[in-house]
Amino acid sequence: MSAASPTRGALPVAGRILRTIRGDRRTVALVLVVPAFILFLFGEVFVRPEPISHIILAVIVFVLTYILTAIGFLRERTAGTLKRLLMSPASRSGLVVGYVLGYGALAVVQSLVLLLAAVALLDVSFANGVALFVAVELLGALTALGTGVVLSLFTDNEFQAIQLIPVVITPQVVLGGTFRPVSELPAYLEYPALVMPVTHLVRAMEYVVHGGDAGDFWVAAGALVLFAVGAVGLATLVVRRAS
């Protein structure tokens, strides 16, 4: 690998993140236990949760990945680990790629937990296959991951990172087609909703779980790809400025 490679140092950073998280019981529980527990509650509360299962799955992966990444990256920064990494041979973009790989691996595990829990607890049958479900979950997770990294750089403690949820996450959940179709919203709410990742995550997940118009799915999937690339790219720029 060339010394000028933009991803220099990515794999060591990813490995260190996974080793750190392995010893953090709270984070392990957030990835392995919390998703299944939430789906269990929905299964107990709703007589027929399957019709809204696509909404549940979309929102859970976005919110939990944001919390995991924002708090995890914040801990790295406040503990001085990020500063040490910025002084290491790892490139700035390689550093971000390492975080994406590390937390992306956790997102894969979380997606598999959600898959198993959805089948067992919500009686979900994926109309377009589990592989597409995992792909859509990962796109949503990558968008939330980039968002968490960027916003964590503007916070000083975990409480502040959580405080951003009502500002950044809640409007997306409310307007993203979870309670009312986006097309039925007033124009001054519909257009902002169309530039929110959760809107397209819910639409894509609806196709994966229930089927529907393939054209609408590809539009939503394309939007998620743009959001994911944009969020990770913005995280790279912000980390470079932070250095």
- pLDDT (tens digit per residue) in 23-82: 888 888 888 899 999 999 999 998 888 889 999 999 999 999 888 888 888 887 777 776
Report the amino acid identity of residue 41. L
Whether 226 maps to a domain, the answer reads: yes
Contacts of 75 (CB under 8 A, 6+ apart): 81, 158
pLDDT band at 225 (very low <50, low <70, confident <90, very high): very high
pLDDT of residue 5 exceeding 70, the answer is: no
Domain count, the chain: 1
Whether 125 maps to a domain, the answer reads: yes
Cβ atoms of residues 62 and 136 within 8 Å? no
Whether 4 maps to a domain, the answer reads: no
Whether 3 maps to a domain, the answer reads: no
pLDDT band at 1 (very low <50, low <70, confident <90, very high): very low
Whether 161 maps to a domain, the answer reads: yes
pLDDT band at 243 (very low <50, low <70, confident <90, very high): low
| Phi then psi dihedrals of residue 167, to 5 deg | -85, -40
Domain that holds residue 29: 10-242
Whether 1 maps to a domain, the answer reads: no
pLDDT value at residue 172: 93
Whether 85 maps to a domain, the answer reads: yes
Whether 5 maps to a domain, the answer reads: no
pLDDT of residue 2 exceeding 50, the answer is: no
Give the mean model confidence (pLDDT) for residues 166-173. Answer: 90
Residues 78, 239, 28: CA angle, nearest 5 degrees: 55
